[in-house]
Amino acid sequence: MRVSIKICGVSTPEAIDAAVAGGASHIGFVFFPPSPRHVGFEQAAALADRVPSHVRKVGVFVDPDDALVESTVSAGRLDALQLHKTAPARAAAIRSRTKCELWGAVAVKRREDLDAAQRFRGAADRILYDAKTPEGAKLPGGMGMRFDWKLLDGFPHPLPWLLSGGLDAANVADAVGTAGARMVDVSSGVESAPGVKDVDKIAAFCKAVAQC
């Protein structure tokens, strides 16, 4: 079965074109100013114009307020919202308000961290399992950190889900095989420097996923 791909933290037309050419089903725009991948409203609107209609646009947020969500959904014509560090009740409220597909991020280091996924039942449409970044880290994701993919093997997922955290062309086949993922998400693993997407790395990642 085909493994779907989200290329996240895209901020240039070239990176969008590479993701689309590689067969990505989703492209992510980060709306979080501390991130090197942050995009503003006008930039998001211009980038969204470049994304063909069969590819879904995902906004990535860290516990956003309503004003930010509304402005970016409109500017980026977002199809889905990926919420980090956001309580399930708040995620449910955003989902109800925007009518967008809602992805709840679950930060994983140990098996007990997976309990948080259950709390998104009824509040989200999909779970994104990501590596837990260190206490006090500038970002809750996008740092190229992995977690033990074996933790997901046999886990009773409450919702459709995708795997992220430290994936790249060299490790994604192992990650998919170990975790049983049908969808993967990558950001720093297809960059030459933080926030700088590398079109060759995007192509290599997509090729590696296609061979899974």
Residues engaged in binding ligand LGQLAAA5 (CB under 6 A): 8-9, 28, 30, 32, 35, 37, 60, 62, 84, 128, 130, 139-145, 164-167, 185-189
Distance of CA 138 to the CA centre of its chain: 17
Identify which of residues 72 and 188 has a Cβ nearer to ligand LGQLAAA5 in the complex. Answer: 188
Query: Token pair for residue 150?
Result: 């074996």
Known catalytic residue: 198? Answer: no
Known catalytic residue: 8? Answer: yes
CA nearest to 98, candidates 121, 74, 76, 119:
74
Strands 191-193 and 196-197: antiparallel
User: Rounded to the nearest whole angstrom, what is the least distance from the CB of residue 9 to ligand LGQLAAA5 in the complex?
Assistant: 4
Q: Which of 17, 79, 130, 198 is catalytic?
A: 130
User: Rounded to the nearest whole angstrom, what is the least distance from the CB of residue 34 to ligand LGQLAAA5 in the complex?
Assistant: 8
User: Rounded to the nearest whole angstrom, what is the least distance from the CB of residue 42 to ligand LGQLAAA5 in the complex?
Assistant: 19
Cα atoms in the 13 Å half-sphere on the side-chain side of 99: 2
Per the CB < 8 A criterion, the answer to whether 141 and 36 are in contact is: no
Identify which of residues 98 and 168 has a Cβ nearer to ligand LGQLAAA5 in the complex. Answer: 168
- Whole-number Å distance between alpha carbons of 4 and 184: 6
Residues with a catalytic annotation lie at 8, 130
